Amino acid sequence: MSEHVVDAGQRHIREINAEIQEAAARGDRIRVINTLSRHNLGVGLPDGADIRFEGSVGYYCGGLNTGARVEIERNAGWAVGEGMSRGHITIGGYCGMSGGAAMTGGMIHVKGNAGPRLGVAMKGGNIVVEGKIGYQSGFMAHSGKIIALGGAGESCADALWSAEVWVAGAIESCGVDVKILEPTAEEVAEVDEIIKPLGLADSSRDWRKMVAGERLWYFESRDAGAWLMI
């Protein structure tokens, strides 16, 4: 497989992404340099694309990913991988607010910490964070798993639907309508299967599994106590 180097710099974002798409169509391995924390890099990447961003990226990198393998060397801004349906995104540093928002499948792996509302409204797939997840991570997440190895911030798993938030480490506070369950051995084994290919499996972790309390699923509009529980 040949390598194609894309020099982002100050070029127009459409020109940069057009070059990336052309290289992906040829089957080239892609390396993007001089990223300069630009926004909207690598949007709508096709199945089978293999791309590395050298440096940090801005908002929405890897959004609408349909099967590409994406590596971000350093940090990512807001909404990395938003709306992705397949593929794998690795972030070498910090992940900004709303990473994986509304994703329906695939994997996002954050090697550092993650910002607020990680996985907001996600509808499938998995997000694994080696560090701490931020305020209201998992907010209104419908499906999939958020797995945090370094604890969680305030209002964690607020207003969950059918997603699960797994945390090893301290949780500053839980959000509205959250239950913390002791996971079964079979459930822990499922999580280990997700993180094992990332080199992160560790049988000594004390997991807490957070799920919806389900009161918000059926609340009466007149019952303020059911939705003002913070």
Whole-angstrom distance, CA of residue 61 vs CA of residue 110: 14
Q: Evaluate whether 161 touches 122 at the Cβ level (below 8 Å).
A: no
Residue 109, pLDDT > 90, answer yes
Q: Evaluate whether 106 touches 123 at the Cβ level (below 8 Å).
A: no
Whole-angstrom distance, CA of residue 75 vs CA of residue 193: 26
CATH topology of domain 31-226: Pectate Lyase C-like (2.160.20)
pLDDT in tens, 154-189: 999 999 999 999 999 999 999 999 999 999 999 999
State in Å, rounded, how far the first CA of the chain is from the last one: 53
Tell me the pLDDT band of 215, cut-offs 50, 70 and 90: confident
The confidence score (pLDDT) of residue 222 equals: 62
Tell me the pLDDT band of 216, cut-offs 50, 70 and 90: confident
Residue 82, pLDDT > 90, answer yes
Tell me the pLDDT band of 230, cut-offs 50, 70 and 90: very low
pLDDT in tens, 33-68: 999 999 999 999 999 999 999 999 999 999 999 999
At 115, is the secondary structure helix, strand, or coil? coil
E strand or H helix that includes residue 66? strand 66-72
Report CA 41 to chain centroid distance, whole Å: 17
> Which residue from 115, 83, 86, 76 is spatially nearest to 102, judged by alpha carbons?
83
> Which residue from 5, 64, 62, 61 is spatially nearest to 30, judged by alpha carbons?
5
